[in-house]
Amino acid sequence: MNHPVLHFADYAIIALFLAISLYLGFRFSSKQTSTKSYFAANGKIPSWAIGMSILATLISSITFLAYPGEGYSSNWILLVQGLMVPIVLLGSIWFVVPLYRKVIGLSTYEYFEKRFGKFARYYSSLGFVLTHFSKMGTVFFLLALALANMTGANTILIISIIGFVIIVLALMGGIEAVIWLDVIQGFMLFGCGIACLIIILFSVHGGPAEVWHIAQANNRTGFGPYNIDFKKLTFIVMAINGIFYGIQKYGTDQTIVQRYLAAKSDRSAIKASLMGVFLIVPVWTLFMFIGTALFVYYKQNPLPPGMRPDAVFPYFIVSQLPTGVVGLIISSLVSAAICSLGADLNCIAAVGVEDYYKKAFPHKNDKQYLKAGKWFVVLAGIGSLCIAALYLSAGDEGVLGIVFTLYAIFSGGIVGIFLLGLFSARANKQGVNIGISVCILFTAYAFLTSTKIGLGSNKHILLDLGRFNFTHHKLMLGVYSHLIVIAVGYIASLFFPKPVLDRNLLYSGWLQNKRDEKRK
């Protein structure tokens, strides 16, 4: 296709935003004198800023591009996962935040070690690292796709420049610079998303009413199919997956837990979490509906042939929007990538230092650990750029589907470990280790017997066991892995002595502390 040409004003706006990002990195660099300031901002960030940071962390280029792509090519079923998150958060945030702020230093997975030993800690932290490396590769892939379609410029050069900015921001400014850039990005994203939706709705002949009519007539609305079928992508599959996703994201994910630690108090962290979630659901919905509106717009105004759904929104931006607005929207897109990746780099570095480097070198001082953390940022940033090369083709499933699938695979059983740790005083290290081992075997079996490789009609299953193949939808793989850890871990624990526990590690301990506070 012919690439639209950006005007000087658009490039100037993009360059200004990149300069601001670099400035923030250097602006906060003088404050990064310890691991606590570098990874947790000394616990002094206001709740509203952390809430915006949580919003920005959960957005990234995946929201900006993949959600419109799904809305364009399908209905809203993949939005169901996000709609489950507020339900989970309202039921758990009250005790999860005090738990982490009281019993861990920096790494989320320290809780898993205190509850179930080192194997549980390393298994869960490795799952986090793998999940977020796959996510970072996806973000870079989507950014490359968008910028290639928007500018026709050398994608490798652009990605290298943005990668450099991301690494400098996370390296120099730490989590504090990332959070304050998140605040800017959150406002930019809201404004750009709303502006784009309004423009698309009123660019359609017939306006919003016609958008709704045509979308309904072409099965682009709703969250179905609604039948109970775990072999296909259905509402029930997405709803169950969304419940476990919410627990994992807000109960076990370092990128979110690190925000809890950066807040001034438990109350501030809880307010920030609620703010972040109740903002993110409308944003996800907004960008999904942008895709729906684009489907109707391009029913009336045919697209160039061969364009993939993930590229439709970028094409509309550069071909239909005025000069200056294009620059702002591209800056918002780049900002979404920078904020998400900057947060991921900082959190991966925190896990690298706390879960691995300190274990290997336990007698170094804090300055040496800080230096190691910065090296982790650089190496993780370079690694994410390399992983992006694996996303040259998103296949027929679509990028958002791939992201959800990888998350389900790499997070296998972590929610199960967390729930056993919180709610079962009887569960012990030996039993949970057995549960994790069974979970790993199940995940390997399900993945190998359900994944096809090859091209066209020559695709074949990696391990074909005939009628014993895993035939349910891959998003259920993650659900089953958590349930396996809960069931096997608890039953196996009954064969070993009951552990002696610090009550602060349990939900029952939190309840008792609340009762004690009321008596005082």
Mean pLDDT for 286-315 is 90
Task: Enter the DSSP assignment of 309.
Answer: G
Task: Enter the DSSP assignment of 154.
Answer: -
Mean pLDDT for 258-264 is 85
The three-class DSSP label of residue 77 is: helix
What pLDDT was estimated at residue 216?
94
pLDDT tens digits, 190-225: 788 888 999 999 999 999 999 999 999 999 999 989
pLDDT band at 456, cuts 50/70/90?
low
Mean pLDDT of the residues in the chain:
84
What pLDDT was estimated at residue 417?
95
What pLDDT was estimated at residue 394?
43
- Counting Cβ atoms within 10 Å, is residue 462 exposed (0-12), middle (13-18) or buried (19+)? exposed
Single-letter amino acid, residue 112: F
The three-class DSSP label of residue 510 is: helix
pLDDT band at 3, cuts 50/70/90?
low
What pLDDT was estimated at residue 46?
85
DSSP codes of every residue in 471-500: -S-HHHHHHHHHHHHHHHHHHHHTTSPPPP
What pLDDT was estimated at residue 470?
92
pLDDT tens digits, 461-513: 888 899 999 999 888 888 999 999 999 999 999 999 999 888 889 999 888 88
Task: Please give the CATH topology (third level) of the domain spanning 8-24+46-392.
Answer: Sodium/glucose cotransporter (1.20.1730)
Tell me the helices (H) and strands (E) count for the chain, helix number first.
Answer: 21, 2
Question: In this structure, are strands 452-453 and 460-461 parallel, antiparallel, or unpaired?
Answer: antiparallel
The three-class DSSP label of residue 46 is: coil
For the chain, the C-alpha Rg in angstroms (whole number) is 23
pLDDT > 90 in the chain, percent = 30
What pLDDT was estimated at residue 395?
45
pLDDT band at 438, cuts 50/70/90?
very high
pLDDT band at 149, cuts 50/70/90?
low
Percent helix, strand and coil across the chain, each rounded to 5? 80, 0, 20
What pLDDT was estimated at residue 122?
92
Residue 225, preceding peptide bond in cis (omega within 30° of 0): yes
pTM summary value:
0.83
Non-local CB neighbours of 191 within 8 Å, separated by 6+ positions: 332
CB-based contact 307:68 (threshold 8 Å): no
Distance CA 170, CA 377 (A): 7
Token pair in block for residue 223: 């969250």
Token pair in block for residue 408: 């389900």
Token pair in block for residue 232: 């296909």
Non-local CB neighbours of 116 within 8 Å, separated by 6+ positions: 417, 420, 421, 427, 428, 429, 432, 433
Residue intervals of the chain classified under CATH 1.20.1730.10 are 8-24+46-392
Distance CA 321, CA 318 (A): 6
Give me the sign of the Cα torsion angle 483, 409, 52, 87: negative
What pLDDT was estimated at residue 261?
85
Q: Tell me the Ramachandran region of residue 43: left when phi exceeds 0, alpha when psi lies from -120 to 50, beta otherwise.
A: left
What are the helix (H) ranges across 222-311? 235-252, 254-262, 266-300
